Structure formats: structure tokens, C-alpha cells
Structure 1
């Protein structure tokens, strides 16, 4: 396949961001790029070229500039001209969708207002109340084993199940949506997963038009912006995509920090501090916010052609030595992990509460939690966009899986659940008639809580 731009003699070599080598030490790559200029040529996937901004001030400038840059991927010349295969693993994350992430101007403002107004109805208390039983449910699945993979058994699943709850998903839709979202983020047949997600959300929207509830989907439908079904579907895709993968990585990266080396809980680091540290140093979404120059631009001596992807490295910008004192103090207002400008993340507060609730729940439930491998043995998941662990193996003293039952009857002693293998949820004996037969996590959770 042709690359987007011809190789220019004497130009810096493109950094391949899709390799295991890049995933293992992205900051070394950012430092090398920054030594050459504020931005550098990169390869996001085989045959997919881009320019990556690694300088902090340049990144802020691009994020806030709505005159020279567009977020609309229909400006991506190589994709529009058929030089990028539609089954490329990066296309689902970069191709145009009519949502607030990929639009500009008045269209963006209309769609973003519908999203922000709906998210604003989620108060912090409700988020905690919804997240805590899901955390208890997931911990119950592995607590009797004495070992777990906190990434795939916990951090990955909690945001998926929580979004099912916040979006008002019934059992069948929620099971399929959870499976498909997981497959898309893990790069398993991304096109098919994207199609399944679309089908699930269109079914959910039709249901909520008939039977509205106290949930984000219903609030979007009822918003004065008057979103049609396609617009509704694409806002929901954006909200899940922008929430699930970053939450998984924020929870996982913070737990790693709390459980490793000199930053362990024994050294006194609080979960809130670990979250701030991760946002500065291991941004869950490390490289994204793709912009398309509307004309050829010069970024501090780096020429970027019109219609080519210009991606912001939140990880690279945050590690810029020019930040000085802000980096030293880990000032919350200075890092770019939440973005900046008109497309900055609208869910900063909910995302922080979700991750903090998840981290506190598992640390409190399993007080002797410890890494089951050395930090050096951990693998980072390859991919150009995220800073994501592949696994997070831990060990702890086995404890009865009775946390969910305790939420129902806090003053009573309830029978223990049976031990289950990884990724196989079980139903507490509180509701024996609800025992699962090849059900997914979400339908099993609903059986238990009768919601």
C-alpha cells in the first residue's frame, strides 16, 4: 500500500508507533522527536502516515486553533482517495463520524451541547452509587482465587458495565455491546465489532424512544438539539469510546503505580495522587486529537501539508522539559491529558470519580494486594493511541465472594459464591433462580440487582 506522503531525501525517518518497541518505551521516542523539532513524522499503522506534535506549546496552539485546522476527517486526503485501506486498524478511531469529536463550528457546538448537558445530569453521587456495586460484583468473581489480572478481570470490565448502566442498557443489548466494544478496542475484527456496536445502539435508541428512562440515552433523545437517530448513535459511540478505553487505562496505570516500587501504598501515595501522576506521565490516551490542516502550515520549522493527519501527543507534550515547575508540582491545570480548546474532554469530573471509585474499591476489598510479577515483566499493549497495559497480574489473600450479597443485606451473613475461572461471572446464592446459563457479565449483574 502506498504511504500518504513520499519519502523526502534527508527527512527524519518516520517513527512506527504501532510496534511493541514503541509501546515499551514511548517517552524515549518522544524525547528523540522533540530534539528534532516540535513535531515529527510517524507511522500510525502500516501505510498510515501522520505528523505527531510532541512540544507542549505547539500542542496547545493546535488544539485551540479553529481557523487553520479542522477535526473533520473528510479532509484526510489519503483516506478519501482510497490510499488507506478501510480495514486498517486505525481507521475506526480516525474516520469521520457525525459526532462532536469530528465536527467543527456550529455543528460541533450543537452536538457538544447535547452531550455536555446530558453528562451534567450525572451527579457525582449517582456515579459512585452505580460504580460501587459493579466493582463489588467484579471483585467477587476473582476474590476467592487469590490471584487475578486486574486489567482484564477488573479495569477493562468496570467501565464497560458502568456505561451500560448509565446508558440504560437492558440485558441483551448490554451483553452484545460489552463484547463488541471490547473487541474493537482490542483490535479483534474491528469492522465487524463496529457494525455490531451500531446495531446495538440503534436498537437501544429505538427502545428509549418508546420507553424513556433516567439515563444518558433518554436525556440525549429529549435534548432540545433534536438529534436524529444517526446523530444519537454517533454521540453514544463517541461517549463510550472516549470513556471506556481511557478509563481502563487510567485505572490500570494508577493501580500499577500504587502497587510498584517506591510509589507503593507503603510509601504513602494516595489514589488521587496516583491518578494525577498517571495523567501527567502515562496519559491513558497518549496520542490522539487528530487535526487536518486546511492549508500547508509551518510548525516551528516542520512543514505539514494540507489534508494530512496532525496528531497531538498528550504523552509527549506533558513530558516536555519546558514545562518546568508545572511538571515538578504535577499541577492539575497544566497537563493536556484531558485535551484543550473547543474539543477538550467534557467528562473530566465523571471520569475522575469513576477511576477513583474503582481503585478505592479494589484496594479496600483486598488490602494485601501485590503485583504477581516484577514491573519489568509487564507488557504494554501496542497501538499508536493509548498507553495501556496488556495485563496486570496480582496476588492477595483469598477472601469470600460475598460483597454483592452484602450490598443487598448488610446486616446478614450470606452464603459464599462458588469459585469461578477468569472471565466467568457467577451469581451469588442470594438469587438462586438467577444463576447464569451462558449469560454475559451485564445480564448476570442485572439478574443479581434486579435493575
Structure 2
């Protein structure tokens, strides 16, 4: 069905997990909007929710934490066993004791620890941390003349950056990178989650013994007095809220800048303008901020029952016809790309600096970068929450790598998240399997940071 088709009958649930939604999610937002500011959807098979697509209604939900709670333990269907505990949507919706899924005094305490720690990051430090990581990743493909900027660059850079911000040593950082990558890609997520928990607890124990100038240490030292479990969950939240959105922000902005029509670089579009455009029109986290009404609530003609998921469509709210003028002017204060209310993104400024720096580095390093396929042939990753490309293939003139690649000249450059370390055989001694060495270990080898 295209944009001109008749709206879905009132009360019918629109699926948000199929290829049609991934290809054009605004079809669903428009169908729901034909009946009001919110409507019934199916986030995943068997997971029903109410999706808010009206801007004013979205603000009403986001700003009223008394009526709309974030604590997923209020989710009636889950509490009653109607949702399988291994359902793939649960990692994004199930309760965790972090500032994303808590309310009231608990939320304030946890959020203050996070925001105070984030406040210790400044633009100079962020750029200083991002730039060598960007150079390092570009070195991995600059001599090939082709790359997938999503999986070779936009995905890996924020993963490695969090290793730096958290103060991870080599082994912990490699595990953190591989486990988070597996969770986002849906590859053996249960095992990956166990590995993630284990390595974060190891990191917390290390930083309690030997604190450093990093976010893990700052959270430990914060007057909120977080327990190890609370620390682990805040770190998971920071990575979850930072890696996937950042990957999509960088990837979607690069797509816009590389677009062959007059909206990209050829029109003189600045990187900051491209990022604003993406936050308005290709919102990296398009639908999220799940709330649970504490009582039945009328949302413009659709009743959201107590204990049922109410999801905010940031993308749908941004495309509300009532915001035509604000959208035309790309007014930064109107879009909901960063959320709103007490749970608004606490890392808005760092996230923008990271994206701008990453995009600047790749465009300066490879100035003739072009899309390797027609834009219409690019695919968007299915899923109800994100607006994410599957790949972003590009071509460019092969460019000699810098000193980072030179240092790796005689090594096997990792093609995925891991690289084997060669070991010399010793006569008479049974050789153990080679230890796997990841991107983070290799980066630390080069920079000794």
C-alpha cells in the first residue's frame, strides 16, 4: 500500500516487524494518524502496543511520569506469562534497574549519577578519543577502494569508543565489543548477554581496585553510591543507548551526504545540517520510550489500558502535519530525536560531537567517496524500534593507509571483531588454541593507551 491508499480500518493492528514496515515506516504512521494521534500496532509477533504518532500526544506521555510509568514490571501481559521470556523483543523492553526503566526517586538517583559522569566529558576529550579510532578503522579498508561504511565504520566506532570511555583493558574491551555486537545483531544473544555481564562485573571490580580517568570510575565514585549490580546496569544502558543510535545517526547522515541528488554534499549541505535532517526525517531510534499507563487512558480516541505498552514514535511525531513549518526550518527544538521529559537523552551533546567528528574524518580521508549502489537498492533493517540500514556500500580511490596500518603490515588485519594472535610452536609442548585478539586489543597495541 502506498501513501495514497485508504487508511487501515480503525482498530486494526499495523505490523511493525515486516519488510514492508522496514521499507517505508511512514506508511504505518500515516495510517494510524488518519484515525488519531495514536493507534494499535504489533511490535513483533504476539507483542501488541499502542503507538503514539501525534507530536502533542507524544509530549503528553513523555512529560507525565505520574500517569505513564517506564517500569516494565507493570507490563501486564509479561507478568501474566503471555510473553515468552526468550522473546527477541524483550532485551529492548524488559525491566532493568537502570535510569531508563525506573521512575520517581530511584530514577532521579540513578540518572544523576549518569548525567554527572557524562558532564565530565568535554568536546575536546571526545574529539581526541574519536579521531584515532576513526583513523584506525579507515586504515582497515582505505587501500581496498571499497567498504561497507555501516559495518566497517559506523557500527564499530561507537563500540570501540565506549571501551575508551569506560577505561577497558584489552581483554575486557574485546569481550565488550564482541558481545554487544552480537546482541545488536541478534546472534546468540543469551550467551552474548552472559559474556557482557561477566566482563562488566570484571571491569567494575578492576576499577574499584584501581580507578582511572574514565566513566566507570566516575560512576563508582559518585555520591549516589551505586552497587555493583547498579553500576553494571548503568553501563549496559549507556552502551545500549549510545551504540545503536550513534551507528544509525552516522550511517543515515552519511547516506544523505553521499546522496547523488541535490540534498547531499553537492548542494553544500553541512555535516551539522545533515545530522539535523536525519534527526527529523530518518530518526535513528524511530520508536521507543515504552511507557505503561497506571490507569486506562484515552489517547485521542484510542484507549490505552493500564499495564499495556505505549510506545512513542519519535519518527511519527516528527512527521506530524502540525510541524510542517518547524520541519521546513529544521528547528532543533521541535523534533523528538532526543526524546523529551525526565527520560530525555542525557548524552545529546556528546552524541552530536561523536557523529560530526566521525563523519568529518571519513569525508576528509576519502574525499571522492561515492555510493557503490543506487540509493533505491539499499535495504533497511527490519525491526520496530530503529531506522537502520543493513549496509552502506561505497567506492573511492584507494588511499595509502597511515602509520596505524603500517604497524600492522605483517599481521592479519581483523575482518570482523576478532583476530588470532600467532604463537610459535614449542617442541614437546602441546599448543593451546591461539588466543583471539580483537579490534580493541589491536588498537591498544598500536597506541599503547
What range is the shorter-chain TM-score in? over 0.9
Structure 2 matches for 1:245-394, cutoff 5 A? 245-260=244-259, 261-394=261-394
Residue matched to 1:168: 167
Residue matched to 1:100: 99
Deviation at 1:334, TM superposition (A): 0.7
Deviation at 1:398, TM superposition (A): 0.3
Residue matched to 2:185: 186
Structure 2 matches for 1:67-82, cutoff 5 A? 67-82=66-81
Contact 1:401/1:416 (<8 A) preserved: no
Change (3 A) 1:215 1:421: closer
- For these two proteins, the number of residue pairs brought into alignment is 426
Find the aligned partners of 1:417 and 1:139 in 2 and give their Cα distance.
15
Cα deviation code 1:64-111 (max 9, x no counterpart) = 002211000000011111111111111011100111001111110000
Find the aligned partners of 2:190 and 2:56 in 1 and give their Cα distance.
36
Find the aligned partners of 2:312 and 2:224 in 1 and give their Cα distance.
30
Find the aligned partners of 1:36 and 1:424 in 2 and give their Cα distance.
46
Change (3 A) 1:179 1:421: closer
Find the aligned partners of 2:418 and 2:368 in 1 and give their Cα distance.
23
Find the aligned partners of 2:38 and 2:241 in 1 and give their Cα distance.
24
Deviation at 1:438, TM superposition (A): 3.8
Indicate the SS of the match to 1:439. Answer: strand
Contact 1:160/1:244 (<8 A) preserved: yes
Deviation at 1:403, TM superposition (A): 5.3
Indicate the SS of the match to 1:373. Answer: coil
Deviation at 1:420, TM superposition (A): 4.9
Residue matched to 1:398: 398
Deviation at 1:415, TM superposition (A): 7.7
Find the aligned partners of 2:192 and 2:62 in 1 and give their Cα distance.
30
Are 1:200 and 2:199 matched, yes or no?
yes
Residue matched to 2:424: none
Cα deviation code 1:124-158 (max 9, x no counterpart) = 10000000000000000000000000000000000
Residue matched to 1:149: 148
Find the aligned partners of 1:371 and 1:135 in 2 and give their Cα distance.
19
Indicate the SS of the match to 1:298. Answer: strand
Residue matched to 1:408: none
Deviation at 1:422, TM superposition (A): 4.0
Change (3 A) 1:82 1:263: same
Q: TM-score, normalised by structure 1?
A: 0.92
Of 408, 429, 449, the match for 2:447: 449
Indicate the SS of the match to 1:59. Answer: helix
Contact 1:161/1:178 (<8 A) preserved: yes
Contact 2:419/2:438 (<8 A) preserved: no
Contact 1:92/1:194 (<8 A) preserved: no
Deviation at 1:423, TM superposition (A): 3.2
Contact 1:92/1:191 (<8 A) preserved: no
Contact 1:417/1:426 (<8 A) preserved: no
Stretches of structure 2 lacking an aligned partner (at least 5 in a row): 1-8, 421-433
RMSD of aligned C-alpha atoms?
1.7
Find the aligned partners of 1:267 and 1:93 in 2 and give their Cα distance.
38
Structure 2 matches for 1:53-132, cutoff 5 A? 53-132=52-131
Deviation at 1:37, TM superposition (A): 1.1
Q: Is 306-315 or 35-44 further displaced after alignment?
A: 35-44
Residue matched to 1:239: 238
